[in-house]
Amino acid sequence: MRLLADTTYLLPAVGVWPRGASELIPRLLGRAEVLLISEITLFELSAKGSKYVSQGSLKAEAVAEGIKAVLNDDRIEIIPMLRTLSSSTPTILRGMVDDYVDCIILSAALHEGDALVTEDRLLLSLQDDSRFRQLSDGVNPGFKILKMGQILGEQSV
């Protein structure tokens, strides 16, 4: 299965540890035939890491090294943002999702993967949105938005 991971799962690479995130990427890599990320995820990692750097709780070098590690991990395929933006899908998704960065990530997943893996409640709720289902059926029938626990076959992570 080609899984596109939301940014949350990559935050530990730059030294930001959401609750329960310590082993998520290795576990996800074990389940995915191909693990994808949107190129904009690298921007989000930098932005989130920079926030912690400015607060003094993280070193700038750690953020840079984490991003390099993601870039150099040949198990992760990075979907170019320009390829995603050349589709009308992110713009259509903007009518359903307030965060445009999430629109780009979801669009990349929809066009390039079998599923988006996320913990974002709004994105997860799109599975039941008729507008989204119509869009996804036209682009990628069978596409899913899943939580990590669903990928791992668990109730929760």
91-97's contacts with Cβ under 8 Å and 24+ in sequence apart are 92/135, 93/132, 93/135, 95/131, 96/126, 96/129, 96/131, 96/132, 97/122, 97/123, 97/126
- What type of residue sits at position 133? R
- Residues 2-30 have a mean pLDDT of 80
Domain contains 137 = yes
- Residues 19-25 have a mean pLDDT of 62
Tokens of 14: 């730059």
Domain contains 67 = yes
Nearest to 118 by CA among 52, 28, 12: 28
Q: Which pLDDT score is estimated for 15?
A: 87
Range of the domain at 88: 2-152
Q: What is the CATH number of the domain that holds 98?
A: 3.40.50.1010
Q: What is the pTM of this model?
A: 0.91
Residue with tokens 């890599």: 29
Overall domain count for the chain: 1
Domain contains 157 = no
- pLDDT tens profile 40-75: 999 999 999 999 999 999 999 999 999 999 999 998
Q: Which pLDDT score is estimated for 155?
A: 45
Is pLDDT above 90 for 27?
no
